[in-house]
Amino acid sequence: MTALSILDPIRVTRSTNARGALDNARDLAARAEDWGYQRFWVAEHHNMPGIASAATAVVIAHIAAGTHRIRVGAGGIMLPNHAPIVIAEQFGTLHHLFPGRIELGLGRAPGTDQATVYALRRSLSAAETFPQDVLELQGYFAASAADQRVQAVPAAGTDIPLWILGSSTYGAQLAAELGLPYAFASHFAPAALLPALRIYRERFRPSAQLARPYAMVGINIIVADSDSAARRLATSQQMSYTNLFRGDRQLSGPPIDDIETYWSPTEKAQAMQMLTRSIIGSPATVQAGMADLIAETGADELMVVSDIYDHAARLRSFELTAQIRASLSPVAACA
């Protein structure tokens, strides 16, 4: 059966501060491990007042400390923002605190604007060395050699599982070449999903970490008692994307009754292009949508984003999603 995981944007809303957002994420992760989710990831974003996961390794520690079994990781760390040794030190430390539960997804994009890239003391050209940086990071996680002058302490020998993240075919090619699992960000960049999966599977080379291709698909899923209730909950995410195009960094807002009064036709087209891969509705609607997506992509795993303003409603959406996944027949879930 197709596995199910969570990507949490750690949204700061108009009714929560950063601490509230972080505690809500920890609460969700604790419940998610009881609902059968495999992993819980957070992503690195900078200069975004509405997202509280900039210090990604610290956030992972907070979530892992409040859970027992679920794997916790980064989806992802934007490696061009960092020296690989620093990331190895951080995640090696996390491994020793939470053995066997930490994993590391790596992205090539900066996850922020150009001015913030410079504030991070990196350059826009850092992305050009992404493949070499991934290999360097792997080296720090491997057992140390006798003649190794620089070690990432305490990372050596931890063999932290690495993932390559992507929103284009570039990441698919790299993941295939390195023999790493691949996660595609179709929850905000759906256009290249199918070509990227095809390239990844066709070009995959087995590695010490992975013997066969393993593909994860990011997907927006919002479930409520009815289609109309779910569509209303989805307006918070739709407004957030609209605000992004406007250059308006306001906090996530509560849902509204009529999204058409909020965005212009152009803004609607822009937002819905990014949110094309969204499954929104009642349990029956979402069940059909999930079955279709799994059949279309052959995904080994779905990583669910449920960007809902109200914490209780968000919890309910994730709980229903887990129930729906369990109800799918093995044939439908593994087609």
Per-residue pLDDT tens digits for 166-199: 999 999 999 999 999 999 999 999 999 999 999 9
Mean pLDDT to the nearest integer, 136-144: 95
What does the radius of gyration of the chain's CA atoms come to, in whole angstroms?
19
Per-residue pLDDT tens digits for 69-112: 999 999 999 999 999 999 999 999 999 999 999 999 999 987 67
Residue 273 to residue 294: CA distance in whole angstroms: 20
Contact predicate 185/279, CB 8 Å: no
Rounded to whole angstroms, what are the CA distances from 239 to 36, 53, 95?
Answer: 30, 20, 37
Check residue 79 and report its DSSP letter. G
265, with CB counted inside 10 A (0-12, 13-18, 19+), is: exposed
Q: Residue type at 105?
A: G
pTM for this predicted structure:
0.95
295: tokens are 């059949």
pLDDT at 115: 82
pLDDT at 147: 85
Domains within the chain, CATH numbers bracketed: 1-160 (3.20.20.30), 216-335 (3.20.20.30)
Mean pLDDT to the nearest integer, 260-285: 97
Positive or negative torsion for Cα 205, 207, 211, 213: negative
Residue whose token pair is 């959406």: 317
Is the model's pLDDT at 48 over the cut of 60? Answer: yes
Tell me the pLDDT of the chain averaged across its residues: 94
3-class secondary-structure state, position 211 = coil
